[in-house]
């Protein structure tokens, strides 16, 4: 029979489903393996070929671990709240819930056609009230402990989605979702104090096995910076201006100061400042720019000097001017800096542009040409009592001096900001709080959770930017749970990142109605053993979920401080011209087409064979065809199988080597080289012309994690006993990894002209290749024509040439 994936793939998917082959076992004495991939957002476009890459990778590992006796949890679910669904719903006038249901059904069907070994009994959906009840519960626990607070703050406002965005959702000054213009707007927002966890989020990276670039990105994102806060007196007042600096050693070189456009000092000295009009104008201009635009390094520096105010440098008592410029952000440090143009590049550019003095205080560069920023070499100069010291020593000495004089104190700052947790949109979890004039913000009582997302007529945001829930008077007006008086519900919803911040906990016990998950299940399954996802989630989702998990650890819900033991990342699959696949470029490949034409096993094999798993690679239809041909050749192994026990002498070494290679490569993301090894073993089988059942068994088990349907089918047809998924993983024998090697002599026209080492079982063709490449032999054959070759296996190779 021909290889026909259409027939066999559906058959095996149904058998696995019916027999619940991939359901986790209740037997908690077994070692566990919890494999996790980032659950998809069920978009209207359905799956694209990028999705199956990580899914197949951990499917391979999961299937292998099951053969090795592990109790494996490999779950799947839907991260289904969010803007695209809502926007689609608005456009097509379909309820977001219906849109989500349709999309989920489509995704699920697609995933099933690829044969992933998900335990579908653990399926979750973040938009289910039974799920978001617990998202709300966690939020309230944070609120009760002061980790959620409301704050007037400038937010990034997308003028087109009409929604506040987190900094992370603003890409190059535009909205990540719609590319619309983003402006700053002041709004009352719910915030989560992730900054309180900043140190632990850095320090605990030492306890987990994440690939290095993920650790580095997280550390940089949190941006811990050790420095000092120093007070500069404002001349003629009792006030002082506080700055944050990482280089107190350069204090003598501070020739001016800069404050952010929003700094309160401006308001306070309104009367004294001589050029208020000019400053107001500058403030208005700055308000239109995002933090990103303001801090862009190459951008031309702008600013205005504040006339009528001066500061006093505490080191030398000199009066220095104060400027306003947008290169200093209100949201970092104190919103003010001491400018040291000789040793800071931004200050240098600014000073050059506005003709401000540049005073060298660390030797080693030419500060008229550029800022000298090296802190490793060079001695302090022009700095009185710290002259002659190295930078590090000088920092230490002047810090102590400033602290003694009560002019400054040591301070650690973070780039990480608290998390803006409000959205003025419909399709999200309602924030379960009630506002009472008398009692303030009051949590909805636990037994009234979830606060259900009500049905609305219209889910477009209101033109004043409130969530559409604000229009529903029946829903908004309620009673205060504390005093019983009239009160109003919060109408903001949670951001898209909420549901994914704890989903890995729900998977272990998704139907629990009493708690997030039972303690027993949590203690057994957590932490996640292996989590694979995209690099684009390193600083957002991965950090947010570590934060939530740590909070749940602190309140005693989970027993481990970190959620994921190991984190890896896959590269992207690119479309034509090595570009990211996208609808707008028209280069998206639909996995359905590949499954239909070549089969799910071919798709899986190709996605694992396509190249280094961690790197981005272009899609190639020829590559797909090659993998299909490989599977056809595997299919034809049925024709050469013979009875027999144990591995034959001829194949023994190759088989043991392949077992070792495949076993190790699957665990180290080297799927491509594992498949290459299986291809080369297949060639050997075909060279020899027959294999016995034992050899076929081993081969099929090794290939099964990559191509599960075809291998099960061959197993059944040949009658290898039971079903393949019940088999155990083969072991290799270290002693059998080396082959017996012999040396043969090579004669040309009766005389020995060379020698070659070959293995005892090496095929004639392979020996011939070595012989003809042998330097001595080549030389003696020269231009002559080979007329005869006789090979006495393992002994001598005779060539007659004329
Ligand atoms: C004087 C100085 C001299 C500085 C020098 C640097 C080099 P990180 O490492 O990022 O924490 N700074 C402080 N607050 C700022 C704000 N709100 N907006 C823009 N820049 C700000 O960098 C800390 C340094 O960035 C601080 O140290 C300050 O400049 C600047 F040779 O103070 B420094
Ligand atoms: Zn009240």
Domain end (from 578, 605, 630) = 578
Query: Helix or strand or coil: residue 134?
Result: helix
Give the whole-angstrom CA distance, residue 283 versus residue 260.
Answer: 9
Query: Helix or strand or coil: residue 192?
Result: strand
pLDDT of residue 173: 80
pLDDT of residue 108: 97
| 463 — pLDDT class (breaks 50, 70, 90) | low
Instruction: Answer yes or no: do 396 and 302 share one domain.
Output: yes
Query: In degrees to the nearest 10, what's the CA dihedral of 571, 575, 576, 582?
Result: -130
pLDDT of residue 590: 92
Give the whole-angstrom CA distance, residue 306 versus residue 279.
Answer: 8
pLDDT of residue 165: 73
User: Distance, CA 442 to ligand 2 centroid (Å)?
Assistant: 8
Contact 425, 496 (CB under 8 A): no
Instruction: Answer yes or no: do 718 and 747 share one domain.
Output: no
Q: Whole domain around residue 779: which residue ranges?
A: 739-801
The number of distinct structural domains making up the chain is 5
Instruction: Answer yes or no: do 654 and 669 share one domain.
Output: yes
**Is the pLDDT score of 647 beyond 80?**
yes
Least confident of 36-45, 175-184, 386-395: 175-184
User: Distance, CA 244 to ligand 1 centroid (Å)?
Assistant: 7
Task: Say if 652 falls within a structural domain.
Answer: yes
Q: What is the CATH number of the domain that holds 231?
A: 3.90.740.10
Task: Say if 587 falls within a structural domain.
Answer: no
pLDDT of residue 713: 98
pLDDT of residue 584: 78
Query: What's this model's pTM, rounded to 2 decimal places?
Result: 0.86
Was 583 annotated as part of a binding site?
A: yes
pLDDT, tens digit, 9 for 90 and up, residues 597-638: 999 999 999 999 999 999 999 999 999 999 999 999 999 999
Task: Say if 14 falls within a structural domain.
Answer: yes
Task: Say if 597 falls within a structural domain.
Answer: no
690: closest CA among 722, 646, 642, 648?
642
**Is the pLDDT score of 420 beyond 70?**
yes
pLDDT of residue 588: 86
**Mean pLDDT of all residues in 222-249:** 97
State how far Cα 253 lies from the chain centre.
42
**Is the pLDDT score of 502 beyond 70?**
yes
| 585 — pLDDT class (breaks 50, 70, 90) | confident
What percentage of the chain has pLDDT greater than the value 90?
Answer: 83
Which of 220, 245, 286 most suits a substitution to test ligand 1, by most atoms within 8 Å of the C-beta? 245
**Is the pLDDT score of 761 beyond 90?**
no
If you average pLDDT over every residue of the chain, what do you get?
Answer: 94
pLDDT, tens digit, 9 for 90 and up, residues 2-16: 999 999 999 999 999
567: closest CA among 613, 601, 531, 615?
531
**Mean pLDDT of all residues in 467-478:** 92
Q: Is 84 in the pocket of ligand 1 (CB under 6 A)?
A: no
Q: What is the CATH number of the domain that holds 504?
A: 3.40.50.620
**Is the pLDDT score of 289 beyond 80?**
no
47: closest CA among 123, 109, 98?
109
Task: Say if 180 falls within a structural domain.
Answer: yes
Domain end (from 385, 413, 441) = 413
Give the closest residue (by CA) to ligand 1 atom 11: 225
DSSP conformation class of 37:
E
Q: Is 245 in the pocket of ligand 1 (CB under 6 A)?
A: yes
**Mean pLDDT of all residues in 93-113:** 95
Give the whole-angstrom CA distance, residue 84 versus residue 108.
Answer: 19
Give the closest residue (by CA) to ligand 1 atom 14: 333
Give the whole-angstrom CA distance, residue 555 versus residue 544.
Answer: 17
Contact 227, 244 (CB under 8 A): yes
Instruction: Answer yes or no: do 706 and 764 share one domain.
Output: no
Instruction: Answer yes or no: do 507 and 539 share one domain.
Output: yes
pLDDT, tens digit, 9 for 90 and up, residues 330-356: 989 999 999 999 999 999 999 999 999
| 458 — pLDDT class (breaks 50, 70, 90) | confident
Provide the sign of the torsion angle of the four alpha carbons 270, 276, 279, 280, taken in this order: positive
123 token code pair? 């399926």
**Is the pLDDT score of 292 beyond 90?**
no
Q: ipTM of this predicted complex?
A: 0.98
pLDDT of residue 54: 98
pLDDT of residue 370: 97
Q: Is 225 in the pocket of ligand 1 (CB under 6 A)?
A: yes
The vertex-133 CA angle with 128 and 137, nearest 5°, equals 150
Q: Residue 530 pairs with which residues in a beta bridge?
A: 35
Q: Is 362 in the pocket of ligand 1 (CB under 6 A)?
A: no
User: Distance, CA 225 to ligand 1 centroid (Å)?
Assistant: 10
pLDDT of residue 168: 64
pLDDT of residue 142: 98
Instruction: Answer yes or no: do 378 and 260 share one domain.
Output: yes
Task: Say if 728 falls within a structural domain.
Answer: yes
Task: Say if 588 falls within a structural domain.
Answer: no
Q: Is 117 in the pocket of ligand 1 (CB under 6 A)?
A: no
Give the whole-angstrom CA distance, residue 356 versus residue 341.
Answer: 8
| 297 — pLDDT class (breaks 50, 70, 90) | low
Q: Dmax of the chain from CA atoms?
A: 112
Instruction: Answer yes or no: do 249 and 383 share one domain.
Output: yes
Q: Is 333 in the pocket of ligand 1 (CB under 6 A)?
A: yes
pLDDT of residue 55: 98
Instruction: Answer yes or no: do 252 and 397 share one domain.
Output: yes
Domain end (from 388, 413, 438) = 413
Contact 262, 335 (CB under 8 A): yes
Least confident of 155-169, 368-382, 657-671, 768-782: 155-169
Task: Say if 585 falls within a structural domain.
Answer: no
pLDDT of residue 280: 97
| 762 — pLDDT class (breaks 50, 70, 90) | confident
pLDDT, tens digit, 9 for 90 and up, residues 520-573: 999 999 999 999 999 999 999 999 999 999 999 999 999 999 999 999 999 999
Give the closest residue (by CA) to ligand 1 atom 19: 328
| 139 — pLDDT class (breaks 50, 70, 90) | very high
User: Distance, CA 337 to ligand 1 centroid (Å)?
Assistant: 7
Q: Is 294 in the pocket of ligand 1 (CB under 6 A)?
A: no
Q: Is 344 in the pocket of ligand 1 (CB under 6 A)?
A: yes
Instruction: Answer yes or no: do 654 and 728 share one domain.
Output: yes
531 token code pair? 């989590």
Q: Which atom of ligand 1 is the closest one to the Cα of 339?
A: 1
Give the whole-angstrom CA distance, residue 637 versus residue 658.
Answer: 17
Give the closest residue (by CA) to ligand 1 atom 1: 245
**Mean pLDDT of all residues in 647-653:** 92
Q: What is the CATH number of the domain that holds 658?
A: 1.10.730.10
Instruction: Answer yes or no: do 479 and 337 share one domain.
Output: no
| 655 — pLDDT class (breaks 50, 70, 90) | very high
pLDDT, tens digit, 9 for 90 and up, residues 152-172: 877 778 888 777 776 667 888
User: Distance, CA 441 to ligand 2 centroid (Å)?
Assistant: 8
Give the whole-angstrom CA distance, residue 363 versus residue 590.
Answer: 61
pLDDT, tens digit, 9 for 90 and up, residues 44-75: 888 989 999 999 999 999 999 999 999 999 99
pLDDT of residue 166: 64
The closest ligand to the CA of 394 turns out to be 1
Instruction: Answer yes or no: do 36 and 105 share one domain.
Output: yes
Rounded (10°) angle between helices 671-688 and 600-609: 110
pLDDT, tens digit, 9 for 90 and up, residues 255-287: 999 999 999 999 999 999 999 999 999 999 988
**Is the pLDDT score of 705 beyond 70?**
yes
Instruction: Answer yes or no: do 454 and 322 share one domain.
Output: no
Give the whole-angstrom CA distance, residue 113 versus residue 121.
Answer: 17
535: closest CA among 571, 507, 495?
571
Give the whole-angstrom CA distance, residue 657 versus residue 641.
Answer: 21
User: Distance, CA 483 to ligand 2 centroid (Å)?
Assistant: 4
The closest ligand to the CA of 358 turns out to be 1
The vertex-394 CA angle with 392 and 395, nearest 5°, equals 65
Q: Is 424 in the pocket of ligand 1 (CB under 6 A)?
A: no
User: Distance, CA 691 to ligand 2 centroid (Å)?
Assistant: 80
List C-alpha distances in Å: 186 to 164, 359, 394, 632, 751: 10, 40, 42, 63, 93
């Amino acid at each position: 029979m021909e290889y026909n994936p259409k027939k066999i793939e559906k058959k095996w998917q149904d058998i696995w489903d019916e027999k619940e082959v991939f359901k986790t076992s209740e037997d908690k004495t077994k070692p566990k393996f919890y494999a996790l991939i980032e659950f998809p957002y069920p978009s209207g476009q359905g799956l694209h070929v990028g999705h199956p890459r990580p899914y197949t990778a951990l499917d391979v590992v999961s299937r292998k671990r099951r053969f090795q006796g592990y109790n494996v949890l490999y779950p799947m679910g839907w991260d289904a709240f969010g803007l695209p669904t809502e926007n689609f719903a608005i456009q097509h006038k379909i309820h977001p819930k219906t849109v989500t249901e349709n999309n989920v059904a489509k995704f699920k069907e697609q995933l099933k056609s690829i044969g992933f070994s998900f335990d579908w009994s653990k399926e979750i959906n973040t938009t289910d009230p039974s799920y978001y009840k617990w998202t709300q519960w966690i939020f309230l626990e944070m609120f009760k402990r002061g980790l959620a607070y409301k704050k007037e703050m400038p937010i990034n406002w997308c003028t087109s989605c009409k929604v506040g965005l987190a900094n992370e959702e603003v890409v190059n000054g535009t909205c990540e979702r719609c590319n619309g213009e983003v402006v700053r707007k002041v709004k009352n927002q719910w915030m989560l104090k992730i900054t309180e966890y900043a140190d632990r989020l850095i320090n605990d990276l030492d306890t987990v096995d994440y690939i290095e670039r993920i650790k580095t990105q997280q550390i940089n994102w949190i941006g811990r910076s050790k420095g000092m806060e120093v007070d500069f007196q404002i001349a003629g007042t009792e006030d002082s201006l506080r700055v944050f600096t990482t280089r107190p050693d350069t204090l003598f070189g501070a020739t001016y100061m800069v404050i952010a456009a929003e700094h309160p000092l401006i308001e306070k000295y309104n009367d004294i400042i001589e050029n208020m009009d000019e400053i107001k104008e500058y403030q208005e201009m700055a308000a239109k720019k995002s933090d990103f635009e303001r801090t862009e390094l190459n951008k031309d520096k702008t600013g205005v000097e504040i006339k009528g105010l001066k500061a006093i440098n505490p080191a030398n008592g000199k009066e220095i001017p104060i400027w306003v410029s947008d290169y200093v952000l209100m949201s970092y440090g104190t919103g003010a800096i001491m400018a040291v143009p000789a040793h800071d590049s931004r200050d240098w550019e600014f000073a050059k542009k506005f003709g401000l003095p540049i005073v060298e205080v660390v030797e080693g560069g030419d500060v008229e040409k550029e800022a000298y920023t090296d802190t490793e070499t060079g001695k302090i100069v022009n700095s009185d009592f710290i002259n002659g010291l190295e930078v590090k020593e000088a920092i230490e000495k002047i810090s102590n001096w400033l602290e003694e004089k009560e002019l400054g104190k040591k301070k650690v700052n973070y780039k990480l900001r608290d998390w803006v947790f409000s959205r003025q949109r419909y399709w999200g979890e309602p924030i379960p709080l009630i506002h009472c004039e008398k009692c303030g913000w009051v949590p909805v009582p636990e037994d009234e959770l979830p606060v259900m997302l009500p049905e609305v007529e219209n889910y477009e945001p209101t033109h004043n930017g409130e969530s559409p829930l604000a229009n529903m008077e029946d829903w908004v007006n309620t009673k205060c749970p504390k005093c019983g008086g009239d009160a109003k519900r919060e109408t903001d919803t949670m951001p898209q990142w909420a549901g994914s911040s704890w989903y890995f906990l729900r998977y272990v016990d998704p139907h629990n109605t009493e708690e997030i998950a039972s303690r027993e299940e949590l203690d057994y399954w957590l932490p996640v053993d292996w989590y694979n996802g995209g690099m684009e989630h390193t600083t957002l989702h991965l950090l947010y979920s570590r934060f939530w998990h740590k909070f749940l650890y602190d309140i005693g819900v989970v027993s481990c401080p970190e959620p994921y033991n190991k984190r890896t990342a896959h590269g992207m699959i690119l479309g034509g011209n090595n570009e990211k696949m996208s609808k707008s470029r028209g280069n998206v490949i639909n996995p359905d087409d590949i499954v239909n034409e070549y089969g799910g096993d071919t798709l899986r094999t190709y996605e694992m064979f396509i190249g280094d798993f961690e790197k981005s690679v272009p899609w190639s239809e020829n590559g797909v065809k090659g993998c299909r041909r490989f599977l056809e050749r595997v299919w034809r192994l049925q024709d050469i199988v013979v009875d027999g026990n144990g591995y034959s002498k001829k194949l023994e070494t190759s088989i043991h080597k392949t077992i070792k290679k495949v076993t190790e490569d699957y665990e180290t993301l080297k799927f491509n080289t594992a498949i290459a090894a299986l291809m080369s073993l297949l060639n050997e089988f075909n060279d020899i012309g027959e294999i016995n059942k034992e050899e076929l068994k081993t081969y099929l088990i090794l290939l099964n994690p990559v191509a599960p349907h075809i291998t099960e089918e061959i197993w059944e047809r040949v009658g290898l006993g039971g079903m393949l998924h019940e088999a155990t993983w083969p072991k290799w024998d270290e002693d059998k990894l080396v082959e017996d090697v012999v040396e043969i002599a090579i004669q040309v026209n009766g005389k020995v002209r060379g020698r070659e080492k070959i293995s005892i079982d090496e095929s004639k063709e392979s020996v011939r290749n070595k012989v003809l490449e042998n330097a001595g032999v080549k030389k003696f054959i020269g231009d002559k024509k080979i007329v005869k070759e006789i090979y006495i296996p393992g002994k001598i190779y005779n060539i007659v040439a004329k």
